[in-house]
Each structure stands twice: as C-alpha cells, then as structure tokens.
Structure 1
C-alpha cells in the first residue's frame, strides 16, 4: 500500500464502522457497547481511487498504564506512530468531550498530518457538534456518516490534501501487493489428478490459534513476533477480534490469526461474546492449520476436547500446544501422562502432534513450528490410485468386510478424491450396509501404512454402477 492511516478517537464514535466501510467487509466487530475494539487491526482500504492500509484502534480511556484500558491505549499510540496520517473521529451528534480535547492535543504533538472527521453527521441536531469540532484547532472537520456511506468523497479529498498527491498516487510499479484477508477465500480443495506432488516448502502458511480464555494465545503470538503486538494481561477474554499478524520463520511467510477464547456454549450469553466466538469460528474455517492452545496446568478440560473435535470436523490440520510449561514441577512424568491422555481422549485425530511450550519464556516454540510444518505436509499429501488399490486388497485379505443379511459387502475400487484434508472414495456394493467400525479400521490403516498421523481423514462410499440396471430380462 502507498501509505498507512490510523483511525483514532474516543470510544463509541464509529471508528470500527468507518474501518469496515473503508475495507469493504465487516471485519471489525461493531456494537453499541463502548470499548468493543481492543487490539489494533490493519486492513487493506479502498476509497474511490485511493488504496492504502487502514488501522482500527481502541478508543481513548484515560487510566493507569497497568490497567487494561492503559494497555489498550498503548496499542493505539503504537498505531499512531506507525501511521503516516491519522483520522481523528469525533461524534457530531453527541458533541465534544474532554477526552476529545486530550486526544487532539496528543495528535498535535505527534507532528503527523491529522484529518478531523465528524461522524454521525446525518443525525438530527448534529450541526452543533460539527461546528464545535472547529475549536479543536485541527482544521475544518469532514462531515461523514460511516454507517450510511455519506461524505466519502469529501473524506477522500481531505486525505489526499493531508498526505500529498505524490504519496497518495504512487507509480503503479511501486505499489506493493497486499495479502488477501483469510476470510476472503476458503482453503482450496486440491485437484483430482492421480499424482503425488512434492510438498512446497516455501508456500505461505495460514494458521489460526484457538483455545479457552486465558490459555495464553496472544502471549504466544507476541513471543513469535518478538514484540508486544497483541494486547495481553491476566484478565480472561481480552481478545475480541480475530487479529492477523505476518512474520517469517526460516524464510517462510507465516500469517497467524489470534482469536478470542471460546467458552462452553451454555456460558456464552452476551451478544458481544457471541460475535467474538463467531469471528473465531470463521478464522478456523478459512485457516489451513490450527494450533489449539491448552493450559498445561489444567489440560484436557471438556471444552478443550470440543475444540479439537471442532477443528477435526472442519477438516483443518490440528496441532496441540501445552502452554505454561514453565509452571510444571515434574515435566517428564507430566509429559508421559499427557501423551497417554492425548491418545486415549482424541481417537479421531490419532497421532496428533502435541508440543509443550511456554509463551512467557519462549520454550518449545521452534519445535512447535516444526510440528506445524510436518502436519501441513501430511494434510497436503496425496496417494496414487495404484498404491491405494493394492493397499485396499491387502486390508480385505487381513480383515474381510462383514456379511450383512447373509451377503458380504464387496469393496471394489479406491481413489483419493482430494487433499487438504485427505479424502478417499471407495466404490462398493451396498455402501449403506458397511458398518462404521469397518470404516474406522480402514481409517486407522491409512494412518499407519501411509504415515498420516494427526489429521482428519475422510472416506466416502459410493455404490458401483450396474450396467444392466433398468433393463428388462429377455426371455
């Protein structure tokens, strides 16, 4: 993008609504409750003929630096320092407040261009708040309605005037290509060619990090990045939006998504938490791999098992991370117990890779990323049809399909129909009669014989076509 714009203002003035308007998608959570946004969220914005990076930020709430509001405001200050120009949003309907005056003074001291935006200008009685905005000393306010899209042309002209035409309209070959957000395009289903392609060690990875509240997801990502990019703290449920960050690991681009903690469904009552959980589920759906963060001090809660099962049902490649390993007193004995429980409680992803880590100290993070890459390799694997049919014949010799109603089910042909996750089709007689126990037998055989541990495996049955069906028997 040619330049970066930060949206700043006090809570509930419409910053996230304007952010969604500029990026053209409902990425940021929007609610009438003040203080919904906590982390700073970047996005690719388009405004008429302008292309730039926009950053949504938390609202100004004056408080101590050790409080949650103080840490939120530190994230906003980081966004202002990173941006080339700030959009200072005020509420024309409600008028100015002392917080607006404080923020205006701070923006003046930053020495960077500021565009004063009077949002909610479509409301009746907003003229008073609009004219009050002149007293901030930041120039003429730009009246807009982020909810209804009014005043966008005036906002475009104000941004161009603040940043300069040379910066606003760079040469075409100088504009950097921006990655598409994870929610824009679902994961590919793979092709149907009967080949075993080599694994691409350089392709970017999209990883979602999920877990129960206060499991240490944001702390883990901050340790990967080497900076306090995401808001963290002892309070549970700090993260609300699914925030994407990008970094390099051994020369490979990693796009990682921090998500809100997911509690039991019965405990989720507030509308805002429901929106956060829906955002987390969307991130899982469009990720390639999912790191499920367990709190090692209280592992294998019922909700942890539900999250692993959710990832498996979505067909994503899961990896377990036992966080807070620095708090474990007897690591060796505890690790042996965790391995036994993993095999016993998660049979649907038998062989899943589980790594003890500490997001606080950085212990085990390199081993975790290596497990992620190995799991992705398995998740993308393809097996040739010839190998599959030889394997299917040997499996039936060792353990023939059961006879149902006096007739044995015949498995005739097997092929892999897609990867990501690996899915197979078996042509057989009477597919409805083959019991689930035999499908589990075949699934476990595929895991063991073709080295496919820890990823979901799909097996679909199809009745073989009868060429004489529908034809009358000739006498």
Structure 2
C-alpha cells in the first residue's frame, strides 16, 4: 500500500490548488466559488523523488441528515479514515475561523496523524494568520502558497521520513513473505504466471444531469465511492476510479452532466463541461446514459454526435428501466430513433437497467467489451479490396464533369477507430454521399457496429506526370 496524504479543510482554502500542484497537472477544478469540490479525488503526487497518493476532498462543513453537505462530509470522512496523514489546510489571510477550530478538534481524534498547513502565505497579509494558527494546538503551522509553489520544500522535509517508513515496511513485508514461501493461494502449479501488461480499459460515463451516472459507477465497483442524491448536477469534476472486472483492469470516469450550450452560463459549469470533454477524449468506450422516462432528447443526440467526432466507441445505457411498463414498445422506439437520428454510427448497442437497484447492470460490461473489441479491429487488405471491387461493381462512383472516377484500392491505415484509405487518381472528386455508401458497406460486410468509421480518399500519383508532352 502506498503512502496516502489527505488534504482537508473548510471550503475555499486552496485544497484543490495544492492537489494540482502536487500531482503536477490541473486535474481538480479550481474556482473562487466556495464548495467547488464535492467528490474525493485521488492522484499520484510527487515531491522530488518522493511518490505518494494525494487525496483532494470536499470542504469540511458541519451538516447532518441527508442534505448534500452532509453527504459531502461523509466522503471526506472516508478519505480521512483511508489516509496515512491528514494535512489540515487553513487560509492564512483569513486567519483561524471557528470552523477551523471545530474541525481541528475533530481531526485530533482521527487515527491518522494531522499536520497543520497555512495556505496563501505569500505577502505580508498572511503573517497575523500564520501566528494565530498556533491556537489550534496542532504544532507549528507549515507556511505554504499552493498557487505560487512556495513552501513545498518544507512539505518535502515533512513527508520524506513518512514515505520512506512506508517503503521500508513494504520491503520488510515482501522479504518476510518470500522467506515463509508466500501464502498458499498465491501460486497454482497448473497455471503458469503471466505478467499483466495490458493497459486498463478506459470508460467514460456521460449524459445529461441527474441521469444516474454516479449511481451506476457506485453500483459497478460495489461501494459508495461517488457522491449521489436526488439533486441534479452534484458531480462537477471528472473523477476516475480504478476497478477490476473479470481479471481485467478498468478505469471508470464519472463526469458532470452536460446541458445544452445555451444553458451553460456560469464559469464553474463551463469548467465542468470542459473536464467532461477531456474525459471523453481520454476514454476508449463512452457510456451515454439516458433516462428511460425522458428518452432521447436533443442533448443526448448532441452528446452522441460529439463522441462520434472524437472517434470513440459508444454504448447507450438506458437507466431507470424499472419505471417502464411497456418495455418492448419503448425499446423499439429507442432503436428506431437511434438509427434514424444517428446514422453515422449505426448498430450502437443499447443496454437497459436500473442503476439504483442494480437489476440488469451485469449486461453492461459484456457489451462494453464487445464494442471495444470492434473499435480495435483490423481487416486484411486482401478482404478489403475484394469487398471494394464488389461495391464498385454494384454501384460505381458517379462521373464528374463527364469523367469516370476510378477507385484503385483500399487499405486500413489504423484502428481505434477503424480508419481506411481509398486510393484514386481523382480522389478529391469523390462525393460525400459515395463515401457514406462505402462506410455503410464496411459496417455491414465486416460487422462493425457501434463505432465510428473513418474513410479518407488518397490521390495516387501519375507515373508519367513528370514527362514532357510530345509535340
């Protein structure tokens, strides 16, 4: 187990800014609005040669019951329980507030050691708050400026012995297990060891607000990892979760709900949308979640079209299926609308389930694996050219300006998504309608449903073009 550092504190003290500084990337959303972070987010932190896991948490707030703030607090409590060290962050410019004192008292009862850090210590305005921080009784405060990177050397000196202690414990445990011959279940004489060199399958769950994306992720991994509730728009960041399905490593991305662009006016929501779009670009399979009671709005089709433009494979997940009475009729309607309104990616698989109860969830991952296999598929050049010859014989390209367009040959240049190049001496004159004819033919002949197909026309060189014309 790697060393885990949880950054905690009241809202708007700079926890996400420090998190981004430690992981070296802008993973967490940062804004002046208090309470931007709601879910806990993990990342691989680095300071010098030290490597550790850093956890960004929601702002500590005193709330009870089933309100959103209370559920956010539960996520933070889970991060504290899982951490090896808690870094209590305060705002040195604002000084010590009653909320800081309250949570410092709570953290003293935590199992993990607590270190006090005062953020925003750049400039003279922070001196009074830094001195005031001694009142919390957590020892000497660590002066930091997460935005400007100041004080990280002091944090390094603090973390170095802790990280090295964890490393020594792991090495000692490994040596002990090897000396004892390991556990009985670690080795099977009939099954040779095969190293797992396969990269994790990256899946992004997207959709409109309140479609049940976070509930689905929690149901898949079997724990309440994501913050959920009846309120729309709870998720703001694209949170990644490591998981394993049937021995295969999976990386799930829970994303913020995507509304129509005209309704996205606040800066924070724009940041959330940008984070979701990055998750789509990073994913291999995108699960588009829709509400069975409000199927296929215009925004759903816009999201699906966006996935197609990014070249990602697509699965449509229909949530809240337990609320539907005539399932067959609704499914026929969904299939018809999807084929008619999204013809560029025909054959997209549709999976129905209830994320809340878990009924039907087991059908999702097999379909994701199937569409991922298709997305990675390659077709031999020989088969492609025999297919092209039959397609051209059945329906030749239209003549342009009275001149015949000849398609010479075709080859697959890449997968992920399947991409093909068709060579012709007059490639630029092949109309878009004929390209669609070829794409549909490829999809039908080689069974390529649910993934984008790219076809590029390439011009062949005339071997006699360099020769001078004879008079």
> TM-score, normalised on structure 2?
0.93
Structure 1 residues 294-443: aligned runs within 5 Å: 294-443=290-439
1:139 corresponding residue in structure 2: 139
1:246 corresponding residue in structure 2: 242
Distance, in Å, in 1 between the alignment partners of 2:338 and 2:172 is 51
1:194 corresponding residue in structure 2: none
Structure 1 residues 15-54: aligned runs within 5 Å: 15-54=15-54
> How big is each residue's C-alpha offset from its partner over 1:142-190, in whole Å with a ceiling of 9 and x where there is no partner?
11111111111111222346x3742266778999xxxxxxxxxxxxxxx
Instruction: Show structure 2 runs of 5+ residues with no match.
Output: 175-195
1:167 corresponding residue in structure 2: 166
Distance, in Å, in 2 between the alignment partners of 1:401 and 1:173 is 71
Determine which structure has greater relative contact order: mean sequence separation of CA pairs < 8 Å that are 6+ residues apart, divided by chain length. Answer: 1
Q: Structure 1's 69 and 369: CA in aligned 2 closer, same or farther, altered over 3 A? A: same
Structure 2 residue 278 is matched with structure 1 residue 279:
no
**Kept in 2: contact 1:23–1:45 (CA 8 A):** yes
Q: Structure 1's 12 and 145: CA in aligned 2 closer, same or farther, altered over 3 A? A: same
2:155 corresponding residue in structure 1: 155
**Kept in 2: contact 1:87–1:117 (CA 8 A):** yes
Deviates more, 1:59-68 or 1:317-326: 59-68
Distance, in Å, in 2 between the alignment partners of 1:385 and 1:411 is 15
1:4 corresponding residue in structure 2: 4
Q: Structure 1's 10 and 25: CA in aligned 2 closer, same or farther, altered over 3 A? A: same
- 1:22 is displaced (CA, Å) by 0.4
Instruction: Show structure 1 runs of 5+ residues with no match.
Output: 176-199
1:260 corresponding residue in structure 2: 256
> How big is each residue's C-alpha offset from its partner over 1:398-436, in whole Å with a ceiling of 9 and x where there is no partner?
111111211121000100000000000000132222111
1:224 corresponding residue in structure 2: 220
Distance, in Å, in 1 between the alignment partners of 2:421 and 2:265 is 42
- 1:124 is displaced (CA, Å) by 2.3
1:97 corresponding residue in structure 2: 97
Q: Structure 1's 123 and 66: CA in aligned 2 closer, same or farther, altered over 3 A? A: farther
> How big is each residue's C-alpha offset from its partner over 1:193-217, in whole Å with a ceiling of 9 and x where there is no partner?
xxxxxxx996520001100111110
Distance, in Å, in 1 between the alignment partners of 2:74 and 2:123 is 32
> How big is each residue's C-alpha offset from its partner over 1:225-282, in whole Å with a ceiling of 9 and x where there is no partner?
1111000111111101100011111111110000110101111000000000000001
**Kept in 2: contact 1:115–1:159 (CA 8 A):** no
Distance, in Å, in 2 between the alignment partners of 1:424 and 1:19 is 42
Distance, in Å, in 1 between the alignment partners of 2:47 and 2:233 is 34
**Kept in 2: contact 1:2–1:170 (CA 8 A):** no
Structure 1 residues 66-85: aligned runs within 5 Å: 66-85=66-85
2:112 corresponding residue in structure 1: 112
- Give 3-state SS (helix, strand or coil) of 1:403's partner: coil
**Kept in 1: contact 2:417–2:452 (CA 8 A):** yes
> How big is each residue's C-alpha offset from its partner over 1:73-94, in whole Å with a ceiling of 9 and x where there is no partner?
1100000001011000011110
Which residue, 461, 465, 470 being the options, matches 1:465? Answer: 461
Aligned residue-pair number: 450
Distance, in Å, in 2 between the alignment partners of 1:109 and 1:465 is 76
> How big is each residue's C-alpha offset from its partner over 1:63-107, in whole Å with a ceiling of 9 and x where there is no partner?
223111111111000000010110000111100111111111111
> TM-score, normalised on structure 1?
0.92
- 1:474 is displaced (CA, Å) by 2.7
Distance, in Å, in 2 between the alignment partners of 1:406 and 1:122 is 74
Distance, in Å, in 2 between the alignment partners of 1:248 and 1:171 is 23
